[in-house]
Chains A and B, each alone.
Chain A
């Protein structure tokens, strides 16, 4: 982490004041993102991955949100930017694709009009017909057939996959530097998922986009990510390159995620392995390692908070938050001949 990237996030903390106290949704997240790079943020529901993404664009700002740390795009600090400055960043420099294409378009406006609206919000000088022509070209570029006619359709006349394509077209309409895709394929069926991932991959390459892909699906991550950040209870528990995370995972939570994948190259187990228990309450997280209550490998050092640091001499960018030694990890993560997390006793 040298801080010279396009997007630099340092020690981001997001808490929400609730009646039960402060809910710490994101607790000290740092990362860098370079042009052309795909960073995947992985974790289960409530791990803070979506809040992290939305905070980058200031979408979590509210009177009861407590946001600290630093988010820099090039040199500009976004956390302290006012709404007007932030508005210029949204869509124009950092665009977002949301999880549910069914509800992310306004049902009462035409798809094309919603994209035109995005273009004209930032490029006041672009006339209506030109914005429309651009929209048609964008829809065509994301693979919508008969874009010239479809541009005047309403969202309900699009299928889920087409809506997500249109959503991506809208996100790309102003040629942003950073694309944040928050579970872009979760609401789609598997064949469409693959198409959308191909599309994202192609566009990222063509346009040198820096992409943050948020997902709970390691299959999606394996498809297109360059680097992976695993989040648990608002914290990053492990980060590294795609290969490092998939072939040499260091944190028991990552083992659990990898172990619960269905694999086509192995005999299918009777029951899919799962990680026992549920994520901790973010209002009262456990002291020390947050995964401790669910971890079968807990030992006396765990109640001390483990730092996120590189523990392997030959992989300086592969960091994790677990007190076990690398040798212990390599031994303990073997469950029935493959990487996994033992079922809790």
Chain B
């Protein structure tokens, strides 16, 4: 187990290093991205631009600039170009909103994905399955911004059921917190509900043909027990893999559109602002933040995977 963790940590560090290099390179390759110009403002004199360039070290060779930036990120005193605010503080400020959105959406998409997938597989070919299939395909196909717009139009402007935007901290008022997040949660979850239920359905239909399912029936188990303990249990393994990737991805940037549309002021919204300002420091930090979660959840997935499937379990039991 210790070796597993060590190997994963090294892998994680490598991935983060490569990601940071790529972001830094892209930023320096795109045109019109001289940060000194933007820092100096619209009507800056060449002298001011020059002094900013020197002050921030923009005339240094790129590897040196990269090194400086990484040092600042790791020591926590990275300053954004546009607002000159501490980047880490801004990210930490956005974390509650982003995590509230992502975790809530994840709970919703897992619950409904599994429920719909299960029902679809059990009633395969029936009218319920067909309806769920149409629903899933629609959920997968409709882009997030359109779903968000439709939700806002229907539930906020027409029916006036839900607030249009804003984030209320959980500890301040849990009810308002949930009330403000329902639409964003659903918006973010719909795609994955469709996707997960489709994947689970086909996994379950495959599992139903397995010999061990026939064995389970032959020993006289009830149908529901066969379906849950033998079919669903074995079909969940690929779902967990998907979840690890998707959840990391959503925290690491997949929720940007949803955050912006619903004005949640989370990390994703900060990312969106930084992109439009071509503000490298926050982008670097947020990208690494996201990559960190993707890699972290990948590792956690492997651990859960080993729990779910004893054949790949590590350590003493597998010898």
- Whether chain B is bound by chain A comes out as yes
B interface list, Cβ under 8 A from A? 210-212, 214-223, 225, 229-230, 233-234, 308-311, 317
Docked-complex contact A121 and B212, CB < 8 angstroms: no
- Taking CB atoms, residues of chain A closer than 8 Å to B210 are 103
Q: Which residue of A lies closest to B210 (CB)?
A: A103
Docked-complex contact A87 and B212, CB < 8 angstroms: no
With A121-B225, A154-B310, A154-B311 as contacts: A107 and B212 at CB distance below 8 Å? yes
Report A50-64 CB contacts with B as 1/0, cut-off 8 Å. Answer: 000010010100000
Docked-complex contact B220 and A87, CB < 8 angstroms: yes
Q: How far is the CB of A307 from chain B (nearest CB, A)?
A: 34
- Taking CB atoms, residues of chain A closer than 8 Å to B219 are 90-91, 95, 117-118, 121, 170-171
- Taking CB atoms, residues of chain A closer than 8 Å to B215 are 96, 98, 104-106, 167
Docked-complex contact A104 and B212, CB < 8 angstroms: yes
* In the complex, A336 has a CB within 8 A of chain B: no
* In the complex, A108 has a CB within 8 A of chain B: yes
Docked-complex contact A108 and B220, CB < 8 angstroms: no
Docked-complex contact A107 and B221, CB < 8 angstroms: no
* In the complex, A309 has a CB within 8 A of chain B: no
The CA of A54 and the CA of B225, in the complex, are separated in Å by 20
- 20 A-B interface contacts by CB (under 8 A): A54-B214, A57-B218, A59-B214, A87-B220, A87-B222, A89-B220, A91-B219, A95-B218, A96-B215, A96-B218, A98-B214, A98-B218, A103-B210, A104-B214, A105-B212, A107-B234, A122-B220, A154-B317, A156-B310, A156-B311
The CA of A83 and the CA of B224, in the complex, are separated in Å by 12
Docked-complex contact A90 and B217, CB < 8 angstroms: yes
The CA of A109 and the CA of B234, in the complex, are separated in Å by 10
The CA of A104 and the CA of B311, in the complex, are separated in Å by 15
The CA of A232 and the CA of B218, in the complex, are separated in Å by 25
Known A90-B218, A104-B212, A170-B219; 12 more pairs at CB < 8 Å: A87-B220, A88-B220, A90-B219, A91-B218, A91-B220, A103-B211, A103-B212, A107-B310, A118-B221, A121-B225, A156-B311, A167-B215
Q: How far is the CB of B209 from chain A (nearest CB, A)?
A: 11
The CA of A122 and the CA of B221, in the complex, are separated in Å by 8
Docked-complex contact A106 and B214, CB < 8 angstroms: no
* In the complex, A92 has a CB within 8 A of chain B: yes
Q: Which residue of A lies closest to B313 (CB)?
A: A154
Docked-complex contact A59 and B218, CB < 8 angstroms: yes
Docked-complex contact A106 and B216, CB < 8 angstroms: yes
The CA of A96 and the CA of B225, in the complex, are separated in Å by 19
Q: Which residue of B lies closest to A113 (CB)?
A: B229
Count of A-B contacts judged by CB separation below 8 Å:
75
Q: Which residue of A lies closest to B211 (CB)?
A: A103
Q: Which residue of B lies closest to A167 (CB)?
A: B215
Report A217-259 CB contacts with B as 1/0, cut-off 8 Å. Answer: 0000000000000000000000000000000000000000000
- List A154-179 residues whose CB lies under 8 Å from chain B: 154, 156, 167, 170-171
Q: Which residue of A lies closest to B308 (CB)?
A: A108
Report A32-70 CB contacts with B as 1/0, cut-off 8 Å. Answer: 000000000000000000000010010100000000000
Q: How far is the CB of B121 from chain A (nearest CB, A)?
A: 15
Q: How far is the CB of A255 from chain B (nearest CB, A)?
A: 34
The CA of A54 and the CA of B317, in the complex, are separated in Å by 35
* In the complex, A201 has a CB within 8 A of chain B: no
- Taking CB atoms, residues of chain B closer than 8 Å to A90 are 217-220
Docked-complex contact A108 and B211, CB < 8 angstroms: no
The CA of A83 and the CA of B222, in the complex, are separated in Å by 9
The CA of A237 and the CA of B316, in the complex, are separated in Å by 54
Q: Which residue of B lies closest to A107 (CB)?
A: B311
* In the complex, A148 has a CB within 8 A of chain B: no
Docked-complex contact A121 and B211, CB < 8 angstroms: no
The CA of A88 and the CA of B222, in the complex, are separated in Å by 10
Q: How far is the CB of B36 from chain A (nearest CB, A)?
A: 59
Q: Which residue of B lies closest to A117 (CB)?
A: B221
- List A112-147 residues whose CB lies under 8 Å from chain B: 117-118, 121-122
The CA of A161 and the CA of B62, in the complex, are separated in Å by 65
Docked-complex contact A100 and B211, CB < 8 angstroms: yes
The CA of A54 and the CA of B211, in the complex, are separated in Å by 13
The CA of A91 and the CA of B225, in the complex, are separated in Å by 15
The CA of A121 and the CA of B224, in the complex, are separated in Å by 12
- Taking CB atoms, residues of chain B closer than 8 Å to A118 are 219-221
The CA of A117 and the CA of B229, in the complex, are separated in Å by 10
Docked-complex contact A106 and B220, CB < 8 angstroms: no
- Taking CB atoms, residues of chain A closer than 8 Å to B212 are 103-107
- Taking CB atoms, residues of chain A closer than 8 Å to B222 are 87, 121
Docked-complex contact B220 and A92, CB < 8 angstroms: yes
Give the contacting residue for A107; candidates B220, B309, B317; CB below 8 A.
Answer: B309
The CA of A170 and the CA of B218, in the complex, are separated in Å by 11
The CA of A220 and the CA of B108, in the complex, are separated in Å by 55
With A98-B211, A106-B212, A154-B310 as contacts: A59 and B220 at CB distance below 8 Å? no
Give the contacting residue for A108; candidates B217, B309, B317; CB below 8 A.
Answer: B309
The CA of A156 and the CA of B309, in the complex, are separated in Å by 11
- Taking CB atoms, residues of chain A closer than 8 Å to B317 are 154
The CA of A109 and the CA of B230, in the complex, are separated in Å by 9
- Taking CB atoms, residues of chain B closer than 8 Å to A156 are 310-311
The CA of A103 and the CA of B213, in the complex, are separated in Å by 10
- Taking CB atoms, residues of chain B closer than 8 Å to A154 are 310-311, 317
- Taking CB atoms, residues of chain B closer than 8 Å to A87 are 220-222
Docked-complex contact A108 and B233, CB < 8 angstroms: yes
The CA of A57 and the CA of B214, in the complex, are separated in Å by 11
Q: How far is the CB of B128 from chain A (nearest CB, A)?
A: 16
- Taking CB atoms, residues of chain B closer than 8 Å to A108 are 233-234, 308-310
Q: How far is the CB of A57 from chain B (nearest CB, A)?
A: 6
- Taking CB atoms, residues of chain A closer than 8 Å to B308 are 108
Q: How far is the CB of A292 from chain B (nearest CB, A)?
A: 34
- Taking CB atoms, residues of chain B closer than 8 Å to A171 are 219
- Taking CB atoms, residues of chain A closer than 8 Å to B309 are 107-108
